[in-house]
């Protein structure tokens, strides 16, 4: 089964914040330095971004994609704007979208997108 693709009419504007987590587990020792080891073989990467729709029709189309195709939880692919030709498989970390109309027909929503690996 192919994954849904991020809608091409919507801009993904990176603000841009990227957090890389290897889930390092730290164990304090009775004496000396603590031991550390990664829990994951691939990092979990969380990117904070802004989704921008340039018209109400584009916003509505994105909402339909988000509700009907993703159900707020499914994985999807998108072109990472910072990585030339880089397609990333990701999902939205927070299933709730809050849109703000910033000017005329311009709509924005702050999102967090998480992926496994994908650096």
Q: What is the pLDDT along the chain (119 residues), one digit of tens a residue?
A: 699 999 999 988 867 788 899 889 999 999 999 999 989 899 999 999 999 999 999 999 999 999 999 999 999 999 887 776 688 999 999 989 999 999 889 999 999 999 998 66
CA dist., res. 67 & res. 56, Å (int) = 16
| Helix (H) or strand (E) run with residue 77 in it | strand 76-79
What is the residue extent of each domain of the chain? Answer: 11-116
Q: What is the CATH number of domain 11-116?
A: 2.40.30
| Helix (H) or strand (E) run with residue 61 in it | helix 56-64
pTM across the whole model: 0.82
């Amino acid at each position: 089964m192919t994954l849904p693709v991020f809608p091409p009419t919507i801009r993904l504007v990176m603000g841009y914040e990227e957090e890389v987590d290897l889930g390092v587990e730290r164990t304090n020792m009775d004496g000396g330095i603590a031991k550390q080891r990664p829990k994951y073989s691939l990092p979990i990467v969380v990117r904070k971004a802004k989704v921008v729709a340039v018209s109400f029709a584009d916003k509505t189309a994105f909402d339909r994609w988000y509700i009907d195709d993703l159900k707020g939880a499914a994985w999807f692919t998108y072109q990472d704007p910072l990585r030339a030709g880089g397609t990333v498989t990701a999902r939205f970390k927070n299933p709730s979208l809050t849109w703000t109309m910033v000017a005329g027909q311009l709509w924005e929503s702050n999102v967090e997108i998480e992926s496994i690996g994908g650096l």
